[in-house]
Amino acid sequence: MFNGNSLEKIRKFSVRKFAYTLHEEVHDLVWKSLCHSDRTTISVSPMIWVPNQLVGAPAGTDVTIDCHTEAHPRAIIYWVYNSVMVLPSKKYLIDYTENSYRAHMKLTIKNIQHSDFGNYRCISKNSLGETEGSIRVAWIHIDRQMILTIHRHVISRIPRYSITYDNANTWLLHVSQAQQDDRGYYMCQVNTNPMISQVGYLQVVVPPNILDIESTPSSVAVRENQSINMTCRADGFPTPKIIWRREDGQSITVERKKKVMVYDGEQLQLIKVSRNEMGAYLCIATNGVPPSVSKRIILDVECKFHLLSRQPKKELLEHLDKVPTYVQTLQFTVKDPTVGKAATFVKVDHVIQETKNLMNVINKVVTTCFECANKHGLCLPQQVPFAHSSSVSFK
């Protein structure tokens, strides 16, 4: 209100509103007239606001924070960190701009380190009083160097974060559908003087998953007396532990002579593989987070066969004595529960009942049977005998 030569009952908010409604040139003239006239003096205590910049940044980078103030008479503005005034130096750059009753001050912290994190206060002071930045509550993801919330407002662009307040000085940060990227330290920071904070760690666990593309295929073959490496890799958190077992419960031979029931490690190396080591191997990944997973790998051993005993020839000879003199085809079947059965047919033009010729036929049958099994990648353990007589038939 204007009363004669004076303005009465003017509040600083009215002055600010009045000034903002004027054109910039008129605004400057009015303030110049009001503030420098011999007849009129308006005094406004400092008003200050600091943009919501609870800034997090990687170590080694530069960070700039801002402070805005309005006051008349002109206010003294300065920064305080850990109760000590911040002065321009190689570490701190201070930029100050002033326009009439308003001022803007920026503080740039060079090469920020962990010791530089804390509460920076912007203080504005004139003859009418003193004020500083307001107190806020913020959640900060330290590993991401990202501010998530300020007071009751979520400022992160990740929609899975939310904040609740129970009106009893307790703020709760909620993370929905947690992902591995959410793992890390979170800090609840209260910008008091001095700053107080509380840090918690969010652990995100992931069940194991076997990486087929980086593991040995489900079926592999190796020549007898050669070596083979079987690999099984898995991801998850914590890092999964890999163990190997044989499906049939037999021991695993490692380091040539050492036999173990369970082998630990991503790679299982079998040296100079024998036919007794063929079969199914189970790779099992576990990390304490259910469920555990496994991969079944079939190991086939390819080997050459040889006649261990003349007993099968004797059995064949006994059966040949019971068949007609002229035999067109012989069928010989080898059965084994490990590999199934391998069969071969040998066509014979004629058979003379002389022992010498019969033995030649039997040798041919036995040899061809082994060649057939070998062709299909089958290998019989050395201690498994040939088929019983019931597995031999003639046509």
> What pLDDT sits at residue 53?
53
What is the fold, at CATH topology level, of the domain defined by 40-130?
Answer: Immunoglobulin-like (2.60.40)
pLDDT band, residue 215 (cuts 50/70/90)? very high
Which two three-digit tokens encode residue 249?
Answer: 């419960």
Closest CA to 95 of 84, 79, 80: 79
What is the fold, at CATH topology level, of the domain defined by 207-302?
Answer: Immunoglobulin-like (2.60.40)
Per DSSP, 172 falls in state E
> Does 207-302 match 40-130 at the fold level?
yes
Residue 337 burial (10 A CB sphere; 0-12, 13-18, 19+): exposed
Structure confidence by residue, pLDDT tens digits, 26-64:
345 444 544 454 445 677 788 877 665 555 555 577 878
Domain ranges of the chain: 40-130, 134-204, 207-302, 310-375
Class of domain 134-204: mainly beta
> What pLDDT sits at residue 143?
65
Structure confidence by residue, pLDDT tens digits, 148-185:
777 777 877 788 989 888 776 788 889 999 988 888 88
Mean of the per-residue pLDDT values for the chain?
70
**Rounded to 5 degrees, what angle do the CA atoms 59, 64, 65 make?**
120
> What pLDDT sits at residue 267?
94
Structure confidence by residue, pLDDT tens digits, 270-317:
999 988 898 999 999 999 999 999 999 999 888 754 433 444 444 444
Length of the chain: 395
